[in-house]
């Protein structure tokens, strides 16, 4: 076989098994003939076995032909020979750097050191830990992380050279050709110990012997079969360990390898070895004069001419220099077409320098994302439209159709990491040609491959992850705007078209990204509001979407798009609208049911009809608030709790328009949740509370608290519940862990993290921990074992993670299981149902307790003025000037005075309305005192100071009321 400078392949010699690839049954060819099947391909490497051939093209395609009786072609075992080159589709996307053939087996090495072998394996020459032949490529897992750079094969053995100059061998060893000091076969690659400490830069195999070059010493080593003198050690015998070849050359410092004074001994010449070669049973070496100072060849340095093409800064620089309308050089167009049409080429591009890309795995992709971003940005900035159109066409029409669900190796997945950096992904108008096939390819990946891509994406820089989110959000928004602008628009949930498929895939990609965002151990990768589409309610009737989703038997049925299946797109305002919609549906249903029952009872039992009301009315006293609430709520069935709620305090005439109800919840929950009653314990560090495992209260009390929390959400009341986020996670079925302990007790969380981070062997002596939890209950110290006989099991380096997991699980789950179960049941009596599927824990918590994302300017912008006041009135200007000068804590107290809570609703400050109007008489002070007293805030000095500062600004004008 021979390859010319234009990548054309020629062959001659024996063709009994089709090994010449010329598609004829001729036995011999005495003159070179071009392999026409590969005439349009550019060959960069070729390797010959005894009766088969491999060839690698510059676009990463690997072809095989010839004898296949042992499966050495890697095409399966269905055929015994191939007369012309045939593509190995099983390795199509792997960026290969080196190929080699043995007698009847084949080995290839990828860019990042993955090694694949196939063919005869009688002696373990494939290194797969067995002697079973392979008809398809199989990876040598044991060599994954040793950085294999080069491989050469003998008749029935294989030799591997690593980046650090180490040599591994496997296969037949009956003549010592493995170099391990024995004549045994090895079915797993083993390092040649005799060469350790030396940096080998060249290896080559004969039929049953091996050569290695160590240039730092100027020595060639040989081992294996030596009956024909092929070892160069003056004796015709086999050796099992590397021996120095006694050749007429010197070391780099001038020391001769031959030191004999006999006349028959060839005298040393002042030359050094540049390259060594092996034939079947012979060897030769190429040398250079030492004075020329020419470095020996290094098999670990792969010549660019022998490698597949990659995206380079140099070639893109040439593209930059092409004027806007100028014709493009044919070679440059060919290069671009080759690279951007090939998965292998892109998978070999943008790799980390200094061989840091070796050992590609789910944790290490080996891609230089900064370089990839830079080069794709260069492409976006090109002036020549022909080049940009060619690249786009190659990506969409040639590359994307080749993406397969089951790639052969993790290296094949790099294209999923780098291709989204292509700037055309920023244009949603290209979604049908670009985003749609890419999204489908990602989502159709086998679970193992999809998991790797997900890990790479989630661990990429935040800017990269946000870019992916923005890409698919822009597609969704694009389709929504198109639908909104259409005169004859089809409801999206009934759409069944090309566009709806693209929309569906974009939504599914966002769901996948949202799942990745929640899968990191350190919490959210990006804030959950990065997924929000604030414009969604403007383009889609989300209330109607919810109703259809709510009533659909199978909401995930194909060909129907429900945005409620993608709740992460809804911002706080949208989710509040959906909660209101669900509330309205449930309340109306409960009221209709009550009315139906009332009519039925009126017809058949007139005396009982008066007892049926369209409201849940609670009559309670301030003196026995808890007992009264428990009694009143127990009178209602869970279905009745969906009705509108009204609260009536004994001997008080106030009509419940919302304020009485809010006061009821505040007073009741404040009393029930007080740690002094023992139902909950408070963590002093964070002032949060959690279920007390040693409470003596009946489970009905926990059920009542859960029911009250459900009513708080259902009636849109913000109340300061000091529960940590873990409570809301458990209510929604989200997993809880060590991070949730930190929300309650940072000290305990740090202590547990210290155990996880400690990696010294004296961990038992340092921490003295066992699989148990110690608690003090009513003054008595009690021990709870985390596992059977846990008190006798010490925490070690091997089981420390298990200990921490069990400890966290005990605190958050097992120790409070019965109490939380009652709480959960009470909560779901009111808030059960599918609407909770739309919320995640952070949002559910914000619905209950509000948040502290204050925007005081927004409060001013939303203020309403009546009865002569306007925003430009001097009184109003003075009021806002003084208000904005107040410290944060005093602003929060004012908010508490205004709304009953110092936190704001989930929708933000825009949900708070303040109305300012003149008053005919000075009723401001009594109103202020009443409100503060009602809220039980006996901080008179603070209250007076706040009132004074506010009134000082308007002391010379008439007063105004805050509604």
CA atoms within 13 A on the CB side of 560: 12
Confidence class for position 561, pLDDT limits 50, 70, 90: confident
Q: How far is the CA of 196 from the CAs of 151, 157, 186, 221, in angstroms? A: 18, 20, 19, 13
Residue 97 in this model has a pLDDT that exceeds 60: yes
pTM of the model: 0.80
Q: Are 563 and 539 in contact (CB under 8 A)?
A: no
Q: Which long-range contacts (CB under 8 A, 24 or more apart) does 109-112 make?
A: 109/148, 109/149, 109/150, 109/151, 110/409, 110/411, 111/347, 111/348, 111/351, 111/357, 111/411, 112/351, 112/357, 112/358, 112/359, 112/360, 112/366, 112/411
Residue 806 in this model has a pLDDT that exceeds 90: yes
Q: Are 382 and 428 in contact (CB under 8 A)?
A: no
**pLDDT average, residue stretch 23-49:** 93
pLDDT tens, 666-715?
787 777 777 777 788 888 888 888 998 877 777 888 888 888 888 887 77
Task: Tell which residue, 305, 302, 342, 298, has the closest CA to residue 43.
Answer: 305
Task: Tell which residue, 587, 503, 582, 496, has the closest CA to residue 540.
Answer: 503
- Mean pLDDT over all residues of the chain? 84
**pLDDT computed for residue 722 by the predictor:** 83
- What gap in Å lies between CA 884 and CA 953, rounded to an integer? 12
Highest mean pLDDT among 124-133, 484-493, 726-735, 820-829: 124-133
Residue 527 in this model has a pLDDT that exceeds 50: yes
Burial class of 250 by CB neighbour count within 10 A (0 to 12, 13 to 18, 19+): buried
**pLDDT computed for residue 931 by the predictor:** 32
Number of other CB atoms surrounding residue 78 within 10 Å: 7
Pairing of strands 271-278, 645-649: unpaired
**pLDDT average, residue stretch 153-165:** 96
* Torsion angles phi and psi, residue 216, rounded to 5: -60, -25
- What gap in Å lies between CA 565 and CA 508, rounded to an integer? 10
**pLDDT computed for residue 923 by the predictor:** 42
Structure tokens at 753: 């993290």
pLDDT tens, 269-319?
789 999 999 999 999 999 999 888 899 999 999 999 999 999 999 999 999
Q: Which long-range contacts (CB under 8 A, 24 or more apart) does 555-562 make?
A: 559/496, 559/500, 560/493, 560/494, 561/492, 561/493, 561/495, 561/500, 561/503, 561/504, 561/507, 562/493
Pairing of strands 915-918, 864-865: parallel
Residue 202 in this model has a pLDDT that exceeds 90: yes
Residue 775 in this model has a pLDDT that exceeds 90: no
Task: Tell me the catalytic residues.
Answer: 931
Pairing of strands 219-224, 239-244: antiparallel
**pLDDT average, residue stretch 557-584:** 81
DSSP lists the bridge partners of residue 47 as 54
Residue 953 in this model has a pLDDT that exceeds 60: no
Tell which wins on pLDDT, 266 or 768. Answer: 768
């Amino acid at each position: 076989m021979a390859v010319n400078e234009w990548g054309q392949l020629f062959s001659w010699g024996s063709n009994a098994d089709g090994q010449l690839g010329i598609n004829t049954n001729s036995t011999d060819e005495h003159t070179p003939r071009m392999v026409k099947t590969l005439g349009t391909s550019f060959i960069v490497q070729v390797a010959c076995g005894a009766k088969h051939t491999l060839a690698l093209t510059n676009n990463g395609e690997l072809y095989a032909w010839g004898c296949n009786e042992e499966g050495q072609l890697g095409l399966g075992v269905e055929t015994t020979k191939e007369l012309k080159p045939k593509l190995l589709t099983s390795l199509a996307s792997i960026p290969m750097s080196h190929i080699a053939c043995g007698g009847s087996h084949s080995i290839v090495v990828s860019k990042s050191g993955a090694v694949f072998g196939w063919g005869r394996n009688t002696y373990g020459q494939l290194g797969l830990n067995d002697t079973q032949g392979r008809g398809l490529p199989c990876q040598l897992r044991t060599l994954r992380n040793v950085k294999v750079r080069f491989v050469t094969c003998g008749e029935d053995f294989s030799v591997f050279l690593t980046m650090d100059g180490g040599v591994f061998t496997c296969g037949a060893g009956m003549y010592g050709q493995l170099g391990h000091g024995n004549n045994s076969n090895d079915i797993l690659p083993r390092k040649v110990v005799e060469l350790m400490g030396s940096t080998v830069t060249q290896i080559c195999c004969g039929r049953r012997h091996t050569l290695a070059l160590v240039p730092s010493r100027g020595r060639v080593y040989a081992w294996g079969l030596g009956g024909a003198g092929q070892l160069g050690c003056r004796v015709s015998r086999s050796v099992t360990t590397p021996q120095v070849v006694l050749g007429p050359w010197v070391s780099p410092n001038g020391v001769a390898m031959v030191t004999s004074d006999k006349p028959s001994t060839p005298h040393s010449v002042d030359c050094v070895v540049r390259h060594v070669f092996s034939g079947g049973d012979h060897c030769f070496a190429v040398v250079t004069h030492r004075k020329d100072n020419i470095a020996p060849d290094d098999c670990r340095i792969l010549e660019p001419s022998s490698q597949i093409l990659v995206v380079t800064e140099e070639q893109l620089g040439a593209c930059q220099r092409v004027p806007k309308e100028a014709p493009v050089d044919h070679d440059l167009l060919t290069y671009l077409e080759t690279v951007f049409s090939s998965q292998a080429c892109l998978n070999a591009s943008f790799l980390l320098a200094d061989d840091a890309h070796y050992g590609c795995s789910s944790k290490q992709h080996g891609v230089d994302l900064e370089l990839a971003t830079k080069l794709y940005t260069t492409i976006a900035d090109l002036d020549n439209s022909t080049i940009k159109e060619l690249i786009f066409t190659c990506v969409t029409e040639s590359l994307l159709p080749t993406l397969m669900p089951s790639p052969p190796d993790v290296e094949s997945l790099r294209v999923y990491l780098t291709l989204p950096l292509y700037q055309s992904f920023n244009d949603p108008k290209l979604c049908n040609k670009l985003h749609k096939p890419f999204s489908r390819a990602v989502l159709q990946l086998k679970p193992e491959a999809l998991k790797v891509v997900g890990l790479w994406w989630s661990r990429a820089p935040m800017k990269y992850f946000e870019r992916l989110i923005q890409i698919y959000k822009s597609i969704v928004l694009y389709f929504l705007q198109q639908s909104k602008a259409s005169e004859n628009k089809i409801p999206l949930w009934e759409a069944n078209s090309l566009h709806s498929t693209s929309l569906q895939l974009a939504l599914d990609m966002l769901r996948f990204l949202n799942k990745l965002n929640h899968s990191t151990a350190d919490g959210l990768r990006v804030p959950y509001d990065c997924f929000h589409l604030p414009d969604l309610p403007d383009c889609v009737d989300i209330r109607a979407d919810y109703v259809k989703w709510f009533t659909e038997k199978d909401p995930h049925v194909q060909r129907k798009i429900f945005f409620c299946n993608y709740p992460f797109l809804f911002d706080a305002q949208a989710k509040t609208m959906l909660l209101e919609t669900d509330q309205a549906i449930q309340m109306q249903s409960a009221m209709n049911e009550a009315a139906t029952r009332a009519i039925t009872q009126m017809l058949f039992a007139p005396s009982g009809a008066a007892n049926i009301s369209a409201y849940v009315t609670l009559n309670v006293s301030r003196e026995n608030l808890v007992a009264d609430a428990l009694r009143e709520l127990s009178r209602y069935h869970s279905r009745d709790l969906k009705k509108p709620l009204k609260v009536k305090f004994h001997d008080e005439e106030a009509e419940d328009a919302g304020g009485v109800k809010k006061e009821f919840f505040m007073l009741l929950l404040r009393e029930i949740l007080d740690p002094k009653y023992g139902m909950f314990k408070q963590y002093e560090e964070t002032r949060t509370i959690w279920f007390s495992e040693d409470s003596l209260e009946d489970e009905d009390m926990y059920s009542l608290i859960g029911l009250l929390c459900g009513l708080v959400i259902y009636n849109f009341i913000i109340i300061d519940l000091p529960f940590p986020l873990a409570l809301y996670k458990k209510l929604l079925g989200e997993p809880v862990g060590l991070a949730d302990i930190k929300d309650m007790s940072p000290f305990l969380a740090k202590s547990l993290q210290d155990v996880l981070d400690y990696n010294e062997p004296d961990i038992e002596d340092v921490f003295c921990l066992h699989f148990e939890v110690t608690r003090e209950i009513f003054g008595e110290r009690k021990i709870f074992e985390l596992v059977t006989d846990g008190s006798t099991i010490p925490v070690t380096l091997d089981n420390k993670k298990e200990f921490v997991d069990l400890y966290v699980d005990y605190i958050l789950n097992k120790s409070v299981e019965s109490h939380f179960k009652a709480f959960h049941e009470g909560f779901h009596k009111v808030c059960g149902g599918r609407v909770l599927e739309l919320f995640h824990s952070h949002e559910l918590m914000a619905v209950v307790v509000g948040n502290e994302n204050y925007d005081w300017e927004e409060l001013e912008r939303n203020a309403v003025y009546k009865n002569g006041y306007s925003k430009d009135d001097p009184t109003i200007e003075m009021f806002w000037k003084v208000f904005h000068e107040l410290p944060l804590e005093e602003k929060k107290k004012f908010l508490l005075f205004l709304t009953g809570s110092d936190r704001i609703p989930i929708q933000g400050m825009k949900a708070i309305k303040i109305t300012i109007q003149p008053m005919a008489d000075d009723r401001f002070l009594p109103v202020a005192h009443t409100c503060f007293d009602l809220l039980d805030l006996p901080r008179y000095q603070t209250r007076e100071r706040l009132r004074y500062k506010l009134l000082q600004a308007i002391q010379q004008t008439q007063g105004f009321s805050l509604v």
